[in-house]
Amino acid sequence: MKRIKLVVRNDKPSATGLAERFAALLAERDVTTDDGPEDAVVAIGGDGTVLEAASIAMRAGIPICGVNVGRVGYLAEFAESEITDLADAISSDTFRTRRHNTVSVVVGSHDASAINDVVVEKVISQRIIEIAVEVDGRALATYRTDGMIVASSLGSTAYSLSAGGPIVDPRLEALILTPIAPHSLLTRSVVLAPDAVVTLNIVGDRPARINVDGRELCAVAPEDAITIRRGATTVEFLTLDRHPFPQAVREHFGLDHA
């Protein structure tokens, strides 16, 4: 690789300083970070920065990796101490790649793809909403809830996890359906086959909205059918396989010190 695009969390001085050091390491190896057609995207910050960078990478059809400022994250795989090894791997093309599925949503004229999750949630904080859920055209349940998360396996450790969902190995292709603070009999997550088609409908007239990887896509009305499925595109990550899934879980939750 000869040209890398850097996406940096500019509101964090430690991230901008690390980006400058990393750019210098790449320059020493004849890899540029100037504007132009890139071979890959490197995000420096945290998982939120990786999500921002990944949307750029997917549109360009190039791979991505993330350097975490702090603890090793699920999306930002590399630690600050590993930037020299990462620069070596980029300049010599000795890294490995790993593809992950995305989650797509279509409602009316709106469509988008998520790396982590698609969330349908209430707009008025004091009022829950009712969401009727179908899977592959068959009714599953109607939830009285604050919202519904449909996550990829990679996204299982994001919002879905904080809502009580399972931690899923990202190598497992699946869709994870997790209600948010449900007032329903079915309160647990449901793990679906990767080719499942999830249809959500808002019951009643309470307003709701759709967020894609934490960013609002659109408002949704009761008559709007929301269709969510595995995305047609994948996101490709560069990796040196130094932080396998069990280790990443231990590091993220501080289990080595428990």
Q: What is the pTM of this model?
A: 0.91
Number of other CB atoms surrounding residue 122 within 10 Å: 20
pLDDT, position 257? 58
User: For residue 24, what is the domain's CATH number?
Assistant: 3.40.50.10330
Burial tier of 166 (Cβ tally within 10 Å: 0-12, 13-18, 19+): middle
Q: Give the H/E segment covering residue 92.
A: helix 83-92
- Phi–psi pair at 93, nearest 5 degrees: 55, 45
Active site residue 47: yes
Contact criterion met (CB below 8 Å) for 9 and 44 = yes
pLDDT, position 244? 77
Residues 49 and 106 in one domain: no
Domain that holds residue 37: 4-95+240-257
First and final CA of the chain: distance in angstroms?
41
Q: Which residues of the chain fall below pLDDT 70?
A: 70-73, 256-258
Residues 84 and 126 in one domain: no
pLDDT, position 70? 66
CA distances, 3 to each of 27, 119, 139, 142 (Å): 10, 35, 49, 50
Residues 64 and 122 in one domain: no
pLDDT, position 253? 72
Residues 10 and 125 in one domain: no
Catalytic residue among 34, 35, 47, 256: 47
Q: What is the pLDDT of residues 122-162, one digit of tens each?
A: 998 888 999 999 999 999 999 999 999 999 999 999 999 99
Q: Which amino acid is at 158?
A: A
Residues 247 and 197 in one domain: no
The number of folded domains in the chain is 2
Residues 225 and 113 in one domain: yes
pLDDT, position 72? 55
Q: How far is CA 10 from the centre of its chain?
A: 20
Residues 190 and 252 in one domain: no
pLDDT, position 256? 65
